[in-house]
Amino acid sequence: MSFPTSECLRKATGRAKSDVANKLVSMFLHDLSRKIVATTRLAVTDVKYANDVEAAFGDRCCYCSRHLEADRVAIEHLEGMNRFRLGLHIPGNVLLACKRCNAEKRRDDQLGHLALAASGWESFLSHDSSRCGSACKSCEYWRQIWPNANARGQQMTDARDRIVAFRSRYSESLRWTGGASGSLRPVVDSLYRNCQKFATDEIKKTVEGAFAELQAGIGASASSDDDTVAQHL
């Protein structure tokens, strides 16, 4: 059997605590973004921002330039809203991408260290097969979209240039984003560790109580079943 059943089951089992902590980090970054938006008075939901995004990218993915479809579009944070990239939900960092690019970019977003660029979105658009090994899945993704090496390199460069030009319109947002990446890392790292510890301790305590209650209930049920069987004999 070629499908890695055991490996998939192990990964699914081991993800829970990290998923909880990562979700809380995302919630922290979202709430911080709301305070920043209240200060700058420009939100991602403003019509002006939507018009700017449409003028710069039209109805195409900000990465691969394929046409977007209503049921296959994702809100894309150029700097991911996670503990490594420390992105914010503010103008200049939020665009629209196809779901495939959004999912593929997470390979880099979830790495503590990026070898190809300083930011997650730049790193994603640097996987042109010229700097990674043949086993790189991100490079393979781009080869599938643009098999021709010259066309691939030009398209990825054009995408980077479009994003840089767009972000340059939001210099105030970039200052907030730069400040977050420069000063929030110890805060977010501490939050992440504390969330993992809380999740581990609280779940362990609750599991012990729940297991004892469940075990007692099953024992009582088994005893009742035995009595019922005995009455019919």
Identify whether residues 75 and 173 lie together within a single domain.
yes
Identify whether residues 155 and 188 lie together within a single domain.
no
pLDDT category of residue 173 using cuts at 50, 70 and 90: confident
Identify whether residues 151 and 55 lie together within a single domain.
yes
CA distance 108 to 125: 10
pLDDT category of residue 223 using cuts at 50, 70 and 90: low
Give domain status of residue 12, yes or no: no
Give domain status of residue 15, yes or no: no
* Per-residue tokens: 25: 């980090």
CA distance 98 to 65: 9
Identify whether residues 107 and 213 lie together within a single domain.
no
Identify whether residues 40 and 144 lie together within a single domain.
yes
Identify whether residues 166 and 193 lie together within a single domain.
no
CA distance 134 to 160: 23
CA distance 192 to 126: 29
Q: How many domains does the chain have?
A: 2
Whether 224 has a pLDDT exceeding 90, the answer reads: no
pLDDT in tens, 196-210: 898 889 888 999 999
Give domain status of residue 11, yes or no: no
**What is the arithmetic mean of pLDDT over 177-202?**
90
Average pLDDT of the chain, as a whole number: 90
Identify whether residues 31 and 128 lie together within a single domain.
yes
pLDDT category of residue 182 using cuts at 50, 70 and 90: confident
Boundary residue ending a domain (183, 202, 217) = 183
**What is the arithmetic mean of pLDDT over 210-224?**
82
What percent of the chain is modeled with pLDDT above 70? 91
CA distance 93 to 77: 5
Identify whether residues 47 and 155 lie together within a single domain.
yes
pLDDT category of residue 233 using cuts at 50, 70 and 90: low
Whether 231 has a pLDDT exceeding 80, the answer reads: no
Which of 1-10, 51-60, 76-85, 121-130 has the lowest average pLDDT? 1-10
pLDDT category of residue 71 using cuts at 50, 70 and 90: confident
Which of 7-21, 127-141, 201-215 has the lowest average pLDDT? 7-21
CA distance 57 to 163: 9
For the chain, how far is it from start to end, CA to CA, in angstroms? 49
Which one, of 199, 186, 193, 177, lies nearest residue 90 by Cα?
A: 177
Give domain status of residue 102, yes or no: yes
Give domain status of residue 8, yes or no: no
Give domain status of residue 56, yes or no: yes
Give domain status of residue 159, yes or no: yes
**Whole-number pLDDT of residue 230:** 59
Domain enclosing residue 107, as ranges: 21-183
pLDDT category of residue 221 using cuts at 50, 70 and 90: confident
Identify whether residues 149 and 46 lie together within a single domain.
yes
Count the Cβ atoms, other than its own, within 10 Å of residue 181. Answer: 16
- CATH code: domain of residue 113: 1.10.30.50
Identify whether residues 176 and 191 lie together within a single domain.
no
Q: Which residues contact 62 (CB under 8 A, 6 or more apart)?
A: 76, 95, 96, 97, 101, 159, 162, 163
Cβ(78)–Cβ(95) below 8 Å: yes
Identify whether residues 101 and 204 lie together within a single domain.
no
**Whole-number pLDDT of residue 4:** 84
**Whole-number pLDDT of residue 15:** 61
Whether 11 has a pLDDT exceeding 90, the answer reads: no
Give domain status of residue 220, yes or no: yes
**Of 137-141, 176-180, 222-226, highest mean pLDDT:** 137-141
Identify whether residues 88 and 141 lie together within a single domain.
yes
